[in-house]
Amino acid sequence: MIDHSKRYLLIFESLLLVLSCVTLYATSLYIWGEDISAADDVNDKPVELHQNEAANLNGPAMHYNNYADNGVKSSIFGSMNTSPKVKLVKKTSFWFRDSTSFWFTHHQRNNSHHSDEFKRVCYYRLPESDSADELQPEDVDPFLCTHIILCVGAGATFANNTIVLDADNYDELIERMVALRQQNPSLLLLLSVMRGFDDLVENRTAVIRTAYNCRLFVQHYDLDGLDLDWEFPNWSPDPQLNQKEKFVMLVEKISTALRLVEPTYLLSIAVTGIEPMLDQCYDLPRLSSNLDFISLMAYDYHMYQWYLPFTGHNAPLYPHSSYHGFLATVNIQWSVQALLKRGVPEHKLMMGIPTYGRSWRLLSPEHQGVGAPAISGGFGEGSITYPAAVEFVASADVAAMDAEARVPYAARDKDWISYENVASAAQKAAFVRSNGLGGVMTFTLNCDDWSPLSSIRFPLHSVIKRVLGVGNNSSHDVP
Ligand SMILES: *[C@@H]1O[C@H](CO)[C@@H](O)[C@H](O)[C@H]1NC(C)=O
Ligand SMILES: *[C@@H]1O[C@H](CO)[C@@H](O)[C@H](O)[C@H]1NC(C)=O
Ligand SMILES: *[C@@H]1O[C@H](CO)[C@@H](O)[C@H](O)[C@H]1NC(C)=O
Ligand SMILES: *[C@@H]1O[C@H](CO)[C@@H](O)[C@H](O)[C@H]1NC(C)=O
Ligand SMILES: *[C@@H]1O[C@H](CO)[C@@H](O)[C@H](O)[C@H]1NC(C)=O
């Protein structure tokens, strides 16, 4: 026979249980409400989010299996012990990370951004081998960038309601990047997702599950956020797809999952700055309000095309004074103004600076200037790293700075390159500074001169950092 106090305890416990279920349901309604109640306008039934999924939003990123929609529906309460498929994570600290931060102190990064500091967002391609020819995580200077966006293999992909990396060794590589925080605890690490958008956005249910799993993914890898590199939404011949609107929906869902509850994570996208694409691909005001920052891919303005067989600049800061019409828009200044005019707040705009250049094969060595006739892309499959450009310039027939576009070019016999050097990178950083933009994005760390044998490592990144007024006093100062 149960005595009264025990019975009351039982009732009390049941009440608590009911209350917590109601809270969970309310939370899920709050976060995903529109999707649970609204009729679906894409092609699916409305979504019932599992309560444990909503609960997990702020809960522990338990185990990798939880990401994939593989039928294992674990809950934070039970299945950890009951499901044989559950794989426990190596690090125990990880297990306790979020839900128990009340009890356990853990490494809490300060990702509240301060408008008085320019962001330096750098793309970094993780190496495919241990070869000394590739930039290894340990050789990345952890103070050069405020944010590093990781790219993997052919690009991380949205698939199976989560983010899929195309090889196993990326786990270890990401861990090695995370280890850089031991030197610079303020370093922020994001992962770039580059593929799988077209299929994903057609399925609203999948978008919602993916958004939730994005959060678990970020927590699992101890990252600070995600970057979406869809090249390009709504740029297909089929306007019926309405990917412009669907991209906003995707960004909203992922943003909610990453940013609505503590701890919050970062979300950014990369956009093109070419005129017709800006309007066709992006609803910039709505995207901006859901993002921490937007990176302008301020490069690839010219490369060899069969229909455009002339040399030109990869990343001209300004147009030539003789340019009119469309040609006058194909430069960074135009793109930046266009983005601001279309509603991107200045402090959220990161202006891209390439560390790579482009190469052309000339029709004739008689014409080696800007706009000279070309017959194909040049050596290196049409692109060239900064150190390779420096080597090329050392034996070039022509090496000049375009006084109007403010970028260098060089020619040797029938080879022609447009590239970025310390002077042009400095001018671009100064442009960011004088226009009060949020900062710069660079593509990539790998294409800068990172060789340990160089007198100045990462010369392009270093000059950008210096011009943006960071580190004049620090031990990591550039000469
Ligand atoms: C984050 O860093 C800024 C300075 O960079 C500081 O003012 C602020 O107090 C920090 N916030 C936390 C929670 O540590
Ligand atoms: C998605 O899951 C299926 C079945 O588990 C698998 O065959 C497929 O390779 C997965 N897709 C990706 C991109 O990992
Ligand atoms: C949409 O995604 C959900 C979740 O992955 C899946 O169950 C459903 O079959 C998908 N619908 C279509 C039409 O592919
Ligand atoms: C650092 O140096 C740069 C140029 O050398 C200068 O423009 C900037 O204002 C300096 N920043 C600080 C914080 O002193
Ligand atoms: C270092 O910064 C302080 C102010 O924070 C400034 O007074 C000083 O001149 C700087 N030193 C150098 C070498 O730039």
The whole-number pLDDT of residue 288 equals 98
The whole-number pLDDT of residue 458 equals 97
- Kind plus residue range of the DSSP H or E element containing 270: strand 266-271
DSSP at 346: G
Is the pLDDT at 37 greater than 80? The verdict is no
Closest ligand 1 atom, residue 110 Cα = 1
Structure token digits, residue 34: 């529109």
* Ligand sitting nearest the alpha carbon of 474: 5
Q: pLDDT per residue over 198-234, tens digit each? A: 999 999 999 999 999 999 999 999 999 999 999 999 9
Residue 471 Cα, ligand 5 centroid: separation in angstroms? 10
The whole-number pLDDT of residue 238 equals 82
Q: How many CB atoms lie within 10 A of CB 348?
A: 21
Which of 163 and 35 is assigned the larger pLDDT? 163
Which of 52 and 442 is assigned the larger pLDDT? 442
| Closest residue CA from atom 3 of ligand 2 | 160
Torsion on CA atoms 283, 289, 294, 296, rounded to nearest 10: 40
CATH no. of 119-467: 3.20.20.80
Q: pLDDT per residue over 265-303, tens digit each? A: 999 999 999 999 999 999 999 999 999 999 999 999 999
Average pLDDT over residues 113-139: 90
The whole-number pLDDT of residue 88 equals 27
**Radius of gyration, CA atoms only, the chain:** 25
222 CB contacts (<8 Å, ≥6 apart)? 94, 178
CA-wise closest residue to 257 among 197, 207, 215: 215
Is the pLDDT at 25 greater than 80? The verdict is no
The whole-number pLDDT of residue 471 equals 52
Instruction: Determine which of 223-227, 265-269, 373-377, 450-454 has the lowest per-residue pLDDT on average.
Output: 450-454
Is the pLDDT at 151 greater than 50? The verdict is yes
Strands 374-377 and 119-125: unpaired
pTM to 2 decimal places: 0.77
The whole-number pLDDT of residue 171 equals 94
Strands 156-159 and 162-164: antiparallel
Could you give the 3-state DSSP secondary structure of residue 424? helix
| Closest residue CA from atom 2 of ligand 5 | 473
Strands 356-362 and 374-377: antiparallel
Instruction: Determine which of 78-87, 202-211, 376-385 has the lowest per-residue pLDDT on average.
Output: 78-87
Instruction: Find out whether the beta carbon of 159 lies less than 6 Å from any atom of ligand 2.
Output: yes
